[in-house]
Chains A and B, each alone.
Chain A
Amino acid sequence: MSQTTATMGERVPDDVVEDILAHLPVKSLIRFRCVSKSWNSIITDPTFISKHLKLNLNQSESSMSTNTQSGYLLYTTEDKDSSSSSKELCTVVCNNNRTLTQVSRFEIPSFFDKYMIVGFCNGLFCLASREKELCHIIYLWNPSIRMLKKLVATRFNRKHNESATIGFAYDSLNNDFKILRIVCNAMFNESEAEAEIYTLSSDSWRKVVVSMESLRGYEPNIGTICDVWGPFKFYNGALHALAFTVGYSFILSFDISDESFHEIMMPRNHLDLVSINFTELAVYKGSPADFVFARDHGNERGGRFLCHIWVMEKYGVSKSWTRKFVIPMEWVWIGHFFGCTNNGELLIKNATGLVSIDPESQNQNILAIEDANWVAFSANSMESLVLLDGGSFITQNVYTDSEKESEEEKKNSDVCSMDDLGSASGSGGGLGSGSSGDGDSRATS
């Protein structure tokens, strides 16, 4: 050791140490918790975690539009090499020459089989339970530090056809992660839709009023929201989902910072097509878009399958809805459309496999990804220390504790729950069939 370096260590003041640490990757930081008690308390301190997150956000934002890559794909897949056949969460970068390079690979805790990803943001994932239809058990998962946090929302007594819809987002104005949960009653005018919001900073749930008066457009007293097709998609600073009330459908949006609901009208009669297989909201090149997958009987060959893409060219202006594309394609099952990339290519799993389809050229590219159950495009790829100061480590214990708890819940429960664990309709297990709910019951998430 040279004399200079020995002196260096003594000279660096704590606030500079913090600045240096904020520039380190997550894996190094976890390792460096062992360096000393002082370093351990810096690294696990909420203020530092927030500082590290913000720094990473800035860096990922400035590297987003580069010459070499155009975003990332995240997907879950079976790990065929491992004997324990565990599922893995993989991230690959989409190089501009259409190749994919692996960035990271994390093992998914096995009990997540009964959960589905309802959203992810800045390295944090939100999963909601499939079996408990009203999704009152929610997990936050940070795969890069192998930690998770279990959240328990309000448990509603299921009387009629209530269903829950979840949305997960990062509120950059308030530096907070938030979860929105809406429970609706499909029986018209039976009861108001109820909503609650969870904020990581307060680690608590709080009721939010879903007030139709705050929605502009039509006369008041048109009734309550009776159904919401989730999970919510986050863009433009708000969570969006297709919602239904008496007589029409609209996009329900929730501004994540000021926590207010708004209504965005859908184009008139855009769902008046014969034989709609399913419809799903996504973002097309930064604009809200509705993707309607339907059979086309107007064709003389008969039985063609089409995807109609409606794009709201100007955000919030319902007159600007345009049916931009109608693309013929192979049959797509519900839950096998995974949104669009930055370039507007649709991510679809069809009979060929996992493909990306360019709506303008209608070209279909096969993605060099092993068989994936769930896929999503992300503009950035980042890791953070969020949950380090308040989550649980992913160990075998967490799995067994979770099982014990669900046993107890069933015994004590006065909720009419779907006890048929294995049969979340249509899907073969947890992180399986996509993020838009399972099988026929679209409204559950």
Chain B
Amino acid sequence: MALELKSSDNKIFEVEELVAVQSETIKSLVEDGCADNVIPLPNVDSKTLELVLDWCKNHVDMKLDEEKLKEYEDKFIEVDQAVLYDLLLAANYLNIKDLLNRACQKVADMLKGKTPEQIRETLNIVNDFSPEEEEEIRKENLWAFEE
């Protein structure tokens, strides 16, 4: 059975139900009987949706071959930051657990060696600690800031 998904930029994708229900979000729609018409996905653009559907399709096809799947996943996630974030948000919105997990791991790997200052810059976070408050945390955890 095929489903029709519409990206934010109005592109229609036709997919097998088996592939699409890797997304828990779409799965609930199908189970609730709301999937007869085109399913609009206003939070995912066509470029990202195409990638996401490729992930889903391969997870159905390679389900039994763990090694091949791992190889595919490793290659799949080697994308530039902007695409990675789009995938991350799409996986979250569509509730695709394994893609979300993989994308989070990749982002975490990028962030892990950084200093708090670098994190704030990368993610555009405002430092709302007072200098004294921040110093308090640093003092208690000096070891975490070494090496």
A202 within 8 A of B: no
A residues within 8 A CB of B144? Answer: 27-28, 30-31
A351 within 8 A of B: no
A residues within 8 A CB of B39? Answer: none
Q: Is the CB of A24 within 8 A of B129?
A: no
| 23 A–B contacts, CB within 8 A, in A order | A1-B121, A4-B85, A8-B85, A10-B124, A11-B85, A12-B88, A16-B88, A19-B92, A20-B104, A20-B111, A23-B101, A24-B112, A28-B111, A28-B112, A28-B113, A28-B114, A32-B119, A33-B137, A34-B134, A34-B138, A35-B116, A36-B126, A37-B128
A13-B92, A16-B92, A32-B119 as given contacts; A8 in contact with B141, CB under 8 Å: no
In angstroms, Cα B51 to Cα A108, docked, is: 49
In angstroms, Cα B43 to Cα A13, docked, is: 13
B residues within 8 A CB of A23? Answer: 101, 104-105, 107-109
Number of interface residues of A (CB under 8 A): 35
B132 within 8 A of A: no
In the complex formed, the residue of A with least CB distance to B142 is: A146
In angstroms, Cα B138 to Cα A31, docked, is: 8
B11 within 8 A of A: no
Q: Which residues of A contact B (CB under 8 A)?
A: 1, 4-6, 8-13, 15-16, 19-25, 27-28, 30-40, 146, 393, 395
In angstroms, Cα B9 to Cα A410, docked, is: 76
Q: Is the CB of A8 within 8 A of B121?
A: no
In angstroms, Cα B128 to Cα A38, docked, is: 9
B115 within 8 A of A: yes
In angstroms, Cα B107 to Cα A22, docked, is: 11
Q: Is the CB of A39 within 8 A of B125?
A: yes
B residues within 8 A CB of A27? Answer: 144
Query: When the two chains form the complex, which single residue of B89, B108, B112, B123 contacts A9, counting CB atoms closer than 8 Å?
Result: B123
In angstroms, Cα B113 to Cα A25, docked, is: 10
A residues within 8 A CB of B109? Answer: 23
Q: Is the CB of A34 within 8 A of B129?
A: yes
Cβ < 8 Å to A, chain B residues 81-131:
81-82, 85, 88-89, 92, 100-101, 104-105, 107-109, 111-116, 119-129
Known contacts A31-B145, A34-B116, A36-B126; can you find 4 more A-B pairs with CB under 8 A?
A5-B122, A8-B85, A21-B108, A23-B107
In angstroms, Cα B146 to Cα A31, docked, is: 10
A20-B108, A34-B134, A35-B119 as given contacts; A8 in contact with B125, CB under 8 Å: no
10 tightest CB-CB pairs across the interface, nearest first? A9-B124, A23-B108, A9-B123, A30-B144, A34-B116, A4-B82, A28-B112, A31-B144, A19-B104, A35-B116
- Closest beta carbon of chain B to A233's beta carbon, Å: 32
B140 within 8 A of A: yes
A residues within 8 A CB of B114? Answer: 28
Query: When the two chains form the complex, which single residue of B88, B111, B128, B137 contacts A24, counting CB atoms closer than 8 Å?
Result: B111
Q: Is the CB of A35 within 8 A of B127?
A: yes
Tell me the total A-B contact number using a CB cutoff of 8 A: 96
A residues within 8 A CB of B126? Answer: 36
- Closest beta carbon of chain A to B47's beta carbon, Å: 13
Q: Is the CB of B123 within 8 A of A30?
A: no
A residues within 8 A CB of B138? Answer: 34
A20-B104, A30-B144 as given contacts; A36 in contact with B81, CB under 8 Å: no
Query: When the two chains form the complex, which single residue of B107, B116, B143 contacts A32, counting CB atoms closer than 8 Å?
Result: B116
In the complex formed, the residue of B with least CB distance to A17 is: B123
In angstroms, Cα B112 to Cα A37, docked, is: 19
B residues within 8 A CB of A25? Answer: 112
A residues within 8 A CB of B105? Answer: 23
Interface hub of A1, A15, A36 (most chain B Cβ within 10 A): A36
Query: When the two chains form the complex, which single residue of B108, B111, B115, B141 contacts A33, counting CB atoms closer than 8 Å?
Result: B141
Q: Is the CB of B137 within 8 A of A35?
A: no
In angstroms, Cα B90 to Cα A13, docked, is: 12
Q: Is the CB of B92 within 8 A of A15?
A: yes
- Closest beta carbon of chain B to A385's beta carbon, Å: 12
Query: When the two chains form the complex, which single residue of B89, B113, B122, B125 contacts A36, counting CB atoms closer than 8 Å?
Result: B125
Q: Is the CB of A34 within 8 A of B137?
A: yes
Query: When the two chains form the complex, which single residue of B116, B122, B124 contacts A31, counting CB atoms closer than 8 Å?
Result: B116
B residues within 8 A CB of A35? Answer: 116, 119-120, 125, 127
A30-B144, A31-B145 as given contacts; A6 in contact with B124, CB under 8 Å: yes
Cβ < 8 Å to A, chain B residues 47-63:
none
A16-B88, A20-B107 as given contacts; A36 in contact with B127, CB under 8 Å: yes
In angstroms, Cα B143 to Cα A156, docked, is: 39
Question: Contact mask B25-55 → A, CB, 8 Å, 1/0?
Answer: 0000000000000000000000000000000
B residues within 8 A CB of A4? Answer: 81-82, 85
A residues within 8 A CB of B107? Answer: 20, 23
